[in-house]
Amino acid sequence: MVSWGIKKEDLLHPDPPVYANYSNDEANPDWHLELPSEAGLLMLAVHNGVLGGLLFNGNCLDAVKPEVVNYIKDNWQELEDISNSSQRIYTRDYAEMISLSFDKDQNCSGIFIGTNDRDRFNNMLDHLDINWFYLSTEDMDDEDDEDDEGEE
C-alpha cells in the first residue's frame, strides 16, 4: 500500500513536491520525496488508471521478459518526467498507459496496463507476451455470464 501527500506548508507553492509513504506502520510512517513537482499528480493519475481507474486494465506481478520491455520502449513513449529507476511510465497519447516496475538490479518485475478503449486494450494484449495475473475483461465476462443466466 502507498499513500501520497503534499506538505501543508507546500500547498502555497504553485508546483508543490509530492511525498510517498510505502510503510504500513502508522506509528512510524516512512515519508520520502516521490516527485519534486506537480508531475506527481500525473503519476497518481497513472497509478489510479492502471490499477482499475481505467475501464480496461491488467497486471502481472512477475518477471517481464526483456524483449517485452524492449517492445514497449520501441512502441510507446516514456513519460520521463514521472519515470524513475523503479517505475517507468509509457503512453500512447494518454489513451494507453503502461507502468513497468523494476527491482534493484533493473529487472522488470511487474507490469500494469490500462485504457478506456476495448480495441486498444485487445491490441495491447495481442502484442504483449505476458502471463497476466488479472484482466478487467475477465470480470466483465463474468458479469455478462451472470446477466445471461438471469434471462433464462
For 132-148, the pLDDT digits (tens) are 999 999 988 766 655 55
Q: Are 102 and 109 in contact (CB under 8 A)?
A: yes
Higher local confidence (pLDDT), 3 or 147 = 3
Q: Which residues contact 20 (CB under 8 A, 6 or more apart)?
A: 2, 3, 4, 5, 31, 32, 34
Over range 77-85, report the average pLDDT.
91
Residue predicted with more confidence, 114 or 1: 114
CA distance 91 to 97: 5
pLDDT of residue 152: 56
- Residue 62 is predicted with a pLDDT of 96
Grid cell for residue 18:
509530492
C-alpha cell at 147: 446477466
pLDDT at residue 47 is higher than 90 = no
> Residue 87: pLDDT band by 50, 70, 90 thresholds?
very high
**5 CB-contact burial (10 Å; exposed 0-12 / middle 13-18 / buried 19+):** middle
Q: What is the pLDDT of residues 96-109, one digit of tens each?
A: 999 999 999 999 99
> Under DSSP, is residue 120 helix (H, G, I), strand (E, B) or coil?
helix
Domains and CATH numbers, the chain: 55-151 (3.30.310)
| Predicted pLDDT of residue 5 | 83
